[in-house]
Amino acid sequence: MADPLILVRGVHFAATLLASGTVAFTVLVAEPAGTKVQAEQFQRRLSVLTWVGLVVTILSGAAWLVLLASDILGPPLVDISLYGGIWPVLFDTRFGIVWCVRFALTFVLGLLLLRQALLSLQLAAAIALAALLALVGHAGATPGAVGDIHLVSDMTHLLAAAAWLGGLPAFALMLWQARHMAEPLWYEFAVRATRRFSLVGVLSVSALLASGVVNSWNLLSGPRDLVMTDYGRLIAFKIGLFAAMVAIATVNHFYLTPQLPAPSAQRALQRNSLAEVCLGLCVLLFVGILGTLPPAAHRHAAPEGIPPEAAFVHIHGQEAMADVTIDPGRVGRVNAVIRVMRDDFSEFPASRVSLNLDAPTPGLQPVSRAAVQQSDGTWRVDDIDLQQAGSWIVRVIVGSSSGEKSIVLDAPIVIEQEN
């Protein structure tokens, strides 16, 4: 929790789901369930709730951009904010492009809120605002057909979370207003809205379960990761919190909803909804942490053209990635080729690259060499003397084009005995 990016990511996800979920609740639940008078009175409150979500989305999104720019380029946060250091990240990375599109969507949605008749356009903007978050996560960095499936699954996961978790504050607000008005028409409205939201919840939970299975298949190498890796343990905690939320929702659906419009049932539903919101915030905190960690199953196939006797490793970091090929992958004189990339596999604008190799045993002198850039954008180190077989630690040190901060990427690589 020392990394402020974790908190900022969690707040941004929560605010996005609140804004999108409140719009979904308005269009799918409140509007069909109420009369014209009730719809106008309640939609004003829902508009305020949506505006709160949009404002926090903008502020937390700006903080996320500044923190990420500082991590990638190196200058302090103040320099990044005052002297335009965010522009390379904003216009030269996928994160920045997605950020610009989502920033524009928040303003579009805000303007649409001024016209209550444009509910379908509000819903379309809210869907896009939530779904595009998947492009800046692990799913957006996965290539090929598997990556496309993962991306669609992650978008489905986000939309289902927005419809259910993001709509819970609006649902609790509706129950509070119905109790406060204490009128038969509002009680009837609360019953109809609760039944509609209960159906939305059932569909959302089903979508969350299905997309969660697909996402876990992409992010974990197996059930063992749930207890043996930090990433997997966080997933396990997230699953536990989700199960608790489903348990509360089950009580709401099968036990409390049939008792409406009894005041005791309304109070219990409101209390349970707030409990689900608290559990959901904990889930989003875990989401903030998970986004800063490499997945337990983050594996990339070796690119084409690698010699069969070479050793290869893909190293994934938050600021950059690297493919390292050592040819031949055995004891003796070898050559190393390094490709440094952004998370969308485009070339990273490195000003310098050096390669360190730490031996399997502490007695041997580590290798430390500067790499030379080739015409194809790769970096090369020739005539490296590897004197021992085993699991070496390869460490790639990348100097960014700004020259302010180096990026360090490391991972084990196996060197075999000489034939």
Among residues 188, 171, 137, 168, the alpha carbon closest in space to that of 318 is found at 137
Dihedral pair phi/psi, residue 379, rounded to 5°:
-120, 140
Tell me the pLDDT tens digit for each residue of 276-286: 889 888 888 88
Q: Do the domains 4-290 and 311-415 sit in the same CATH topology, yes or no?
A: no
User: Quick check: 102 pLDDT over 90?
Assistant: yes
Higher-confidence position of 339 and 293: 339
Mean pLDDT, residues 294-298 taken together: 57
Give 381's strand partners.
336
**Confidence band of 207 (pLDDT split at 50, 70, 90):** very high
| Per-position b or e across 183-203, b if 16+ CB within 10 A of its CB | eeebbbbbbbbbbbbbebbee
Mean pLDDT, residues 193-222 taken together: 85
**Confidence band of 1 (pLDDT split at 50, 70, 90):** very low
CA distance 76 to 376: 33
Asked if 252 contacts 328 with a C-beta cutoff of 8 angstroms, the reply is no
CA distance 278 to 18: 13
Tell me the pLDDT tens digit for each residue of 373-401: 999 899 999 999 998 888 888 889 998 76
Angle (CA) 261 267 270, round 5°: 105
CB-count burial class (<10 Å; 0-12, 13-18, 19+) for 79: middle
User: Quick check: 69 pLDDT over 60?
Assistant: yes
Asked if 115 contacts 147 with a C-beta cutoff of 8 angstroms, the reply is no
Higher-confidence position of 44 and 339: 339
Where do the structural domains in the chain lie, given as residue ranges? 4-290, 311-415
**Confidence band of 259 (pLDDT split at 50, 70, 90):** confident
Residue 116's H or E segment, with its range, is: none
In 3-state terms, what secondary structure has residue 415?
A: strand
Higher-confidence position of 90 and 104: 104
Tell me the pLDDT tens digit for each residue of 51-68: 999 999 999 998 888 887
CB-count burial class (<10 Å; 0-12, 13-18, 19+) for 357: buried
What pLDDT is attached to residue 186?
A: 74
Higher-confidence position of 400 and 19: 19
Among residues 325, 298, 284, 16, the alpha carbon closest in space to that of 147 is found at 298
Amino acid at 241: L
**Confidence band of 159 (pLDDT split at 50, 70, 90):** very high
Q: At what angle do helices 144-164 and 184-219 cross, to 10 degrees?
A: 160
Least confident of 138-152, 245-259, 380-394: 138-152
Tell me the pLDDT tens digit for each residue of 309-361: 888 888 877 678 889 999 998 899 999 999 998 866 788 888 899 999 988 87
CA distance 14 to 56: 9
User: Quick check: 144 pLDDT over 70?
Assistant: no
Top CATH class of 311-415 equals mainly beta
User: Quick check: 89 pLDDT over 60?
Assistant: yes
End-to-end CA distance of the chain: 48
% residues pLDDT > 90 (the chain): 26
For 4-290, CATH gives 1.20.1630
User: Quick check: 301 pLDDT over 60?
Assistant: no
Higher-confidence position of 190 and 78: 190
Least confident of 79-83, 87-91, 291-295, 341-345: 79-83
